[in-house]
Structure 1
């Protein structure tokens, strides 16, 4: 524990966690994972074209990029790199990144990053019987690779659900949180969402969720603040009351 002020909240039935900026550094994702995927977009599209997820992502790139029905791999890669440069949370980009990162984790090329307080908090909440789930712009494949290859080993057994922009919707829309709430089958006031982005917190609150804004000093969105949401810089500050 630390000497930071506590934030007292009703004990939730379910905690839904964002990843980047919340449990883990956005800079690790940008500086390590993004370049890793960028170097492999072309080879994955060429060598795994018969994989259903790759085929679906390729079709989505053509649709979202307003391309013709017949384009070459280099054109698809150019579109992916443009989205990556602009940090756009496009579903086909996240699908391909998730596949590439999962392969990298399996090969031992990658190990995920977590802030020092994140894994102890996850373990603590799991031991308390709170249901834990993830909602990230990263694909479900990326999430399972991330939590399955932490510095402390496989954390996946502590999670019961994974949501992304494909199975839930954009992270800034209240409708996405309604989709998750309906899938979980728990009233909104029993759901607690942690994120570093105020627009995501606003979306969850609009659907009736409890929310906590996570501000990690030095991380990408620190200076933007978390609006009117309860604010923490460490999960150690959260106390059930």
Structure 2
């Protein structure tokens, strides 16, 4: 990996900056328990009504009652579906939880110091996660290392495309207005790294606890092992 050419770093969240357990054992159960009452109380608010309409569209049932919409959302959470309106509504519920201090965004201890160092050395930092942009900003804004949102130049979610498809990374590179080889993508998921490599990006696999290293991408176990 020709590190000197890296001008921008795009990082995944789950399993890369953040313990998967935080997402699956804190965030998802919180949304599962709070979402029904949140929707019943706020269904007429424009931003929420818009997402409820999008859920009905996914259900191919434009007149589905609210309780059926709630059941569908809970089913999507239980089966870890990457459905855009679900991600948006989860983000709204999590915003409430972060602001109440019910939890902080988990980061591995090596993440924040590396992000600060890269930013100070002139690298542009971006996030690409299947969680909504709002959820990404909340996690880094209310992280256990403080508010890290000033470090990032931008955020991408499934609106740009799916994380295992090269076209999503081509779109990201186009938005960054950089040569693909000047962009480094960090993830724990080999299929995502394969797609980024297809788009011409440099790649590094984060092998955190529970991650299986592949043999097609360079691997590190911590951000402070990444020499830029």
What residue number does 2:67 align with? Answer: 74
* Aligned-partner Cα distance in 1 for 2:40–2:215: 44
Question: Given that residues 5 and 181 in structure 2 are in contact (C-alpha distance below 8 angstroms), is that contact kept between their aligned partners in structure 1?
Answer: no
Q: Could you tell me which residue of structure 2 aligns to residue 205 of structure 1?
A: 197
Structure 1: 5+ residue stretches without partners = 1-6
Distance in 2 separating the partners of 1:53 and 1:228: 42
- 2:42 aligns with 48
TM-score normalised to the size of structure 1? 0.90
How many residues get paired? Answer: 228
Greater relative CO, 1 or 2 (CA 8 Å, sep 6+):
1
SS of 1:212 mapped into structure 2: strand
| Alpha carbons 2:119, 2:125 under 8 Å: kept | yes
Deviations 1:50-94, CA, capped at 9 Å, x for gaps: 33432232122122223x211122211221122212212111111
Structure 1 Cα separation of the partners of residues 189 and 112 of structure 2: 20
Q: CA deviation at 1:44?
A: 2.3
TM-score by length of 2: 0.94
Find 2:124's aligned residue among 106, 121, 131. 131
Q: How well do the aligned residues superpose, as a CA RMSD in angstroms? A: 1.5
How far apart are 1:46 and its partner, in Å?
2.1
In structure 2, stretches of 5+ residues that fail to align are none
* Equivalent position of 1:104 in the other structure: 97
Q: Structure 1 98/117 Cα, relative in aligned 2: closer, same or farther at 3 Å? A: same
Cα distance change, pair 146–192 in 1 and its aligned pair in 2 (3 A): same
Verify the 8 A CA contact 1:14 1:192 in the aligned structure 2: yes
The 1:211–1:156 alpha-carbon spacing in structure 2 relative to 1, beyond 3 Å, is: same
Matching of residue 31 in structure 1 with residue 19 in structure 2: no
Structure that is richer in helix per residue:
2
Deviating more after overlay: 91-100 vs 78-87: 78-87
Find the residue that maps to 1:10 and give its secondary structure: helix
Secondary structure of the residue that 1:194 maps to in structure 2? strand
Residue of structure 2 in register with 1:60 after alignment: 54
What is the SS of the residue equivalent to 1:162? Answer: strand
Matches within 5 A, 1:1-241: 9-66=3-60, 68-166=61-159, 168-218=160-210, 222-223=211-212, 225-240=213-228
Counterpart Cα distance in 2 of 1:191 and 1:100: 33
The structure 1 segments of at least 4 consecutive aligned residues displaced by more than 6 Å after TM superposition are none
The secondary structure found in structure 2 opposite 1:138 is: coil
